[in-house]
Amino acid sequence: MDGPLKNLLVLDLTRVLVGPYCTMMLSDLGARVIKVEAPEVGDDSRNFGPFVEDYSAYFMSLNRGKESIALNLKNSDDKKIFDKILAKADILVENFKPGTLEKWGYGWKDVCEKYPKLIYASASGFGQTGPLKELPAYDMVVQGMGGLMSVTGQPNSEPTRVGTSIGDITAGLFTTIGINAALYDREKTGKGTFIDVSMLDCQIAILENAIARYLSKNEIPKPMGSRHPSIAPFEAFKTKDSHIIIAAGNDKLFEKLCNVLEMSELFSDEKFNTNSLRSKNMDELKLILENKLSSKITTDWVRLMEEERIPCGPIYNIKEAVENPQVLSRNMIVKAYHKVIGDFKLAGNPIKMSSYKDETTRGDIPDLDEHRGKILKEFS
Amino acid sequence: MDGPLKNLLVLDLTRVLVGPYCTMMLSDLGARVIKVEAPEVGDDSRNFGPFVEDYSAYFMSLNRGKESIALNLKNSDDKKIFDKILAKADILVENFKPGTLEKWGYGWKDVCEKYPKLIYASASGFGQTGPLKELPAYDMVVQGMGGLMSVTGQPNSEPTRVGTSIGDITAGLFTTIGINAALYDREKTGKGTFIDVSMLDCQIAILENAIARYLSKNEIPKPMGSRHPSIAPFEAFKTKDSHIIIAAGNDKLFEKLCNVLEMSELFSDEKFNTNSLRSKNMDELKLILENKLSSKITTDWVRLMEEERIPCGPIYNIKEAVENPQVLSRNMIVKAYHKVIGDFKLAGNPIKMSSYKDETTRGDIPDLDEHRGKILKEFS
């Protein structure tokens, strides 16, 4: 891949999701990624479903374009190989439990004097410091402890997780930001840095409205289904055949909405003529709107509202989402090659940069230890 | 703020969330941010609740530490001021509807020849290209069209949004990655770049398991409450007083869990002795586990499981989440000053870098046009 990070070498000690998501982005930005996996088993996610002909689609979607070598960092011969790659690496990324790499002699403090230009990024459940640093965490645990689950779901429903591992993914994104900022910094100072990202911290950083509400007003927000906590109407409504999302974020949009629905009297109604009144009386307003919206199917309403530039849309399932001509036109579904399966489709890179081509393919999907020969030869 | 981006000037034309979240991170990383707001009204989010003494906590939490100047980019006197700031800016960030800045003479193509080192980042609902580029979008619209809502919620429940504006926030994160990568690139090439991020694209990029499942197996995933689609047990369970999240991601952890629950026979049960069997028979396993878990309160179970290093945790509300000693010890709640309200608490920066101090305060919260005098003097 060509990109802003070309000519940089990433030594990738990551497994499962938070780390691999980060090094996947580094790869998409042009870096070369050498993935060090545990001998025999490899990245745990090689065993996570769904599977295609015994190969994990989960693993493949995150690790395309990386090179794989199996090394046991407790074994002295393997350590020698590792040391040779480390000596040439620009960036080390790892998501072991804090203390693991120290135990093997590769903690930040162990390596930073010898390699002062190395950027060393650690992503973990709770971070490298603090009373909980020793505890293991997966996405679900930080979605729960970070407060996000307490505001996601229907009112009074059973606990609801975000349907994607947002705890891992956001931490992967913050880690990637840290690494890129450190690369820029290194150009100025000549020095590397240690980056410590905690998945739990990242959950706090994305709480937005909910945390502003609590910290400023001592209100404890609750799940509200599809409703926005302070903008109205801004939620999903029933139509004749399914649902429509309407996000009429200000008075002007609400007026347009009333006109499209042929209910212009609503806009002057004293119960609904400001955003705060609409928020307050939203249950009543929802009944009125759904009564009207039930007369047409979603597609028809979307067309009518789009003509008036009212933010709205259908709720797509995954098939509909990835087949959306807009998504396809943006090259958001790309391909990687696997030697048994052949072409394998996966999500593209949403960072489109004018100075680099947005490739429609990614590098091949590595088998465990596939690149040993090549790597040993190069780093001898 | 000291940080890797110190000495860089960001010209911030953003409003509401996706753009302001990005420029907030740039500020947290040390950049100086000059926010250009529409005269009289300012950033729309100045009018979004919750309010503290008539000031929007929502606005304050995103815009601390930025300088504000009100400029009308259709007015020729204001354009002259804008041009002077632009001439010295390293980065321009905007989240207008595509075409808006072009109309005012400040599209990427209009400015890139004059300012070839400028990094110009545009975040929008659907991107700068494609059949839907003209349409307005808010977070809810892309959560719906991006597929995330189709996998979030209880089975057969009403549509459920993620309880935070994850459509905006992830796009803000990807934009920030793009800007930092472009800064590094500029050090090498001497050239700026145009970065085009679409909120909808970002939703596709975070679909993880769900998109891997559809693209590889043609399965259309559905909402599963708190359950993980391919790891078991990995969900929320009822206890005597509330819920506990248990993320026993492999056989070894499941064995430990069975031992803590004093149900070691479960581990050898032919229905539950592999992850794929547990996934298949999870409804039955959940009944068995909850039957046992109902005998103690969540705190007691968490303590017992933590001793065995089984990933688990409570579901915290926002108050509990921000009062967690781990979160506080990581400096994830910081302060900014507002001249009327005084100290104002907000979320910190989850990117902890060894080379820079993680400050406990942020710069002051700007009133609309507060820094006009200072800025006019400096850029004259």
Main-chain phi, psi angles of B69, to 5 degrees = -135, 135
CA distance B345 to chain A (A): 6
pLDDT of residue A250: 87
Planar angle of CA B50, A172, B148, nearest 5 degrees = 60
pLDDT tens-place string over residues A87-138: 999 999 999 999 999 999 999 999 999 999 999 999 999 999 999 999 988 9
Whether residue A347 lies within 8 A of chain B, CB to CB, comes out as yes
Omega prior to B233 cis, within 30 of 0 = yes
Asked if residue B105 has pLDDT above 90, the reply is: yes
Chain A interface disruption, residue of B1, B226, B274, B290, most A CBs within 10 A: B226
Question: What would the mean pLDDT of A174-186 be, rounded to a whole number?
Answer: 98
Whether residue B305 lies within 8 A of chain A, CB to CB, comes out as no
d(CA B237, CA B174): 34
E-strand spans in chain B?
9-13, 32-37, 51-52, 55-56, 67-70, 91-94, 119-124, 194-198, 234-238, 243-247, 312-313, 333-338, 342-347, 352-353
Question: What would the mean pLDDT of B121-130 be, rounded to a whole number?
Answer: 98
For chain B, give the mean pLDDT.
96
Q: Do A230 and B48 touch (CB under 8 A)?
A: yes
Q: Do B126 and A173 touch (CB under 8 A)?
A: no
Whether residue A312 lies within 8 A of chain B, CB to CB, comes out as yes
Task: Give the predicted TM-score (pTM) of the model.
Answer: 0.98
pLDDT of residue B196: 98
Asked if residue A230 has pLDDT above 90, the reply is: no
A228 is catalytic: yes
In B, residues 6-35, which contact A (CB 8 Å cutoff)? 17, 25, 29
Asked if residue B250 has pLDDT above 90, the reply is: no
CA distance B221 to chain A (A): 7
Question: What would the mean pLDDT of A162-185 be, rounded to a whole number?
Answer: 98
Question: What would the mean pLDDT of B111-139 be, rounded to a whole number?
Answer: 96
A152-156 contacts at long range (C-beta below 8 A, 24 or more positions apart): A152/A223, A152/B152, A152/B160, A152/B161, A152/B162, A152/B163, A152/B164, A153/A223, A153/A225, A153/B153, A153/B154, A153/B160, A153/B163, A154/A223, A154/A225, A154/B153, A154/B154, A154/B157, A154/B158, A154/B160, A155/A222, A155/A223, A155/A224, A155/A225
Asked if residue A355 has pLDDT above 90, the reply is: yes
**Minimum CA–CA partner of A275 in chain B:** B48
d(CA A25, CA B69): 35
Asked if residue B1 has pLDDT above 90, the reply is: no
Asked if residue A249 has pLDDT above 90, the reply is: no
Q: Do A157 and B154 touch (CB under 8 A)?
A: yes
Q: Which residues of chain A does B59 touch, with a Cβ-Cβ cutoff of 8 Å?
A: none
The domains found in chain B, sorted by start residue, are 9-206+329-378 (3.40.50.10540), 234-238+243-314 (3.30.1540.10)
Tell me the percentage of chain A whose pLDDT exceeds 70. 100
Question: What would the mean pLDDT of B274-295 be, rounded to a whole number?
Answer: 95
Sequence-ordered alpha helix ranges (H) in chain A: 18-28, 57-63, 76-88, 100-103, 108-112, 139-145, 166-189, 199-205, 208-217, 251-260, 265-268, 275-280, 282-293, 298-307, 318-323, 325-329, 372-378
Strand order in the sheet with A352-353: A352-353, B194-198, B119-124, B91-94, B9-13, B32-37, B67-70
B133-165 CB burial, b ≥16 within 10 A, e <16? bebbbbbbbbbbbbbbbbbbbbeebebbbbbbb
Question: What would the mean pLDDT of B97-110 be, rounded to a whole number?
Answer: 96
Chain B interface disruption, residue of A245, A254, A301, A308, most B CBs within 10 A: A245
pLDDT of residue B276: 87
Query: How far is the CA of B201 from the CAs of A206, A225, B20, in angstroms?
Result: 19, 24, 19
In A, residues 236-275, which contact B (CB 8 Å cutoff)? 236, 243, 245, 247, 249-250, 275
Question: What would the mean pLDDT of A305-318 be, rounded to a whole number?
Answer: 96
CA A270 to chain CA centroid, nearest Å: 42
Whether residue A181 lies within 8 A of chain B, CB to CB, comes out as yes
Give the number of other Cβ atoms within 10 Å of residue A367's Cβ.
Answer: 14
Q: Which residues of chain A does B299 touch, with a Cβ-Cβ cutoff of 8 Å?
A: none
pLDDT of residue A271: 96
- DSSP symbols for A193-242: -EEEEEHHHHHHHT-HHHHHHHHHH-------TT--SSSSSEEEEE-SSS
Q: Do A225 and B161 touch (CB under 8 A)?
A: yes
Q: Does the predicted interface ipTM exceed a cut of 0.95?
A: yes
Asked if residue A276 has pLDDT above 90, the reply is: no
Which residue in the set A164, A185, A345 is minimally distant from B207, CB to CB? A164
Q: Do B213 and A138 touch (CB under 8 A)?
A: no
The pairing of strands A51-52 and A55-56 is antiparallel
pLDDT of residue A380: 87
Looking up tokens 């212009």, which residue turns up?
A264
Question: What would the mean pLDDT of B99-118 be, rounded to a whole number?
Answer: 96
pLDDT of residue B49: 86
pLDDT tens-place string over residues A49-88: 899 999 999 999 999 999 999 999 999 999 999 999 999 9
Which residue in the set A153, A315, A344 is minimally distant from B216, CB to CB? A344
CA distance B373 to chain A (A): 30
pLDDT of residue A164: 96
Query: How far is the CA of B100 from the CAs of B93, B115, B308, in angstroms?
Result: 13, 19, 57
pLDDT of residue B125: 97
**Minimum CA–CA partner of B318 in chain A:** A147
pLDDT of residue A158: 94
Q: Do A177 and B351 touch (CB under 8 A)?
A: yes
**Minimum CA–CA partner of B356 in chain A:** A193
Q: Do B49 and A198 touch (CB under 8 A)?
A: no
Whether residue A183 lies within 8 A of chain B, CB to CB, comes out as yes
